[in-house]
Amino acid sequence: MTELEKCMAGKYYNCHDKVFLDFKSNARNLLKEYHSLSYEQKKEKTQILNRLFGKIGTNVSVGLPFVCDYGRNIYIGNNVSVNMNCTFVDCNKITIGDNVLIASNVQLYTAAHPVELSERLTPDWNPEVEQYFCRTYALPITIENGCWLGGGVIVLPGVTIGAGTVIGAGSVVTKNIPENSLAVGNPCHVVRKINNS
């Protein structure tokens, strides 16, 4: 199994493998170009996002600054607004549906490390080898159609947020949230159902 296959399967992988360093380098170059464009250069910005992301729909805006790890693992539907200062750590797949609002300072993290120190440290790590001293794994994030993530929301690895759901500002989403819910807090929890459900 290659390091890329391990990563996408949610297994420990070497995040310093050449394939990931190449992905990061490509993303940094495209982001540098993206950040150099003015607000009015929408056509040019869309062309860069088409090269950066795995898939992008129509009527998508991504505010500046924007940071991502690889870009290639981000899949965005139609009518999506990503406001300024968002960070998408897309070591695994990030899927964003249609008609989604993502407010400023939202952070989507697919990458993680084991909690226990004995599991977190890479066994027999050698600084001479191109390998990270900590074990890393990544799990996908899915934001379904019609969601709104408020300012400063953090979404952790492996989480799915159901269609039509609103996540209140500052929430830390540690587990799946069902569709048509208003959810808030740290850890994020459902307060009530919405959208006549």
Catalytic residues, by residue number, are 113
Kindly report the number of other CB atoms within 10 A of residue 89's CB atom: 20
Distance of CA 152 to the CA centre of its chain: 14
Evaluate whether 14 touches 3 at the Cβ level (below 8 Å).
yes
178 burial (CB, 10 Å; 0-12 / 13-18 / 19+) is: middle
Distance (Å, rounded) from C-alpha 144 to C-alpha 142?
A: 6
Distance (Å, rounded) from C-alpha 26 to C-alpha 12?
A: 23
* R_g of the chain computed on alpha carbons: 17
In SS3 terms, 160-196 reads as EECCCCEECCCCEECCCECCCEEEECCCCEEEEECCC
End-to-end CA distance of the chain: 44
Q: Note the residue count of the chain.
A: 197
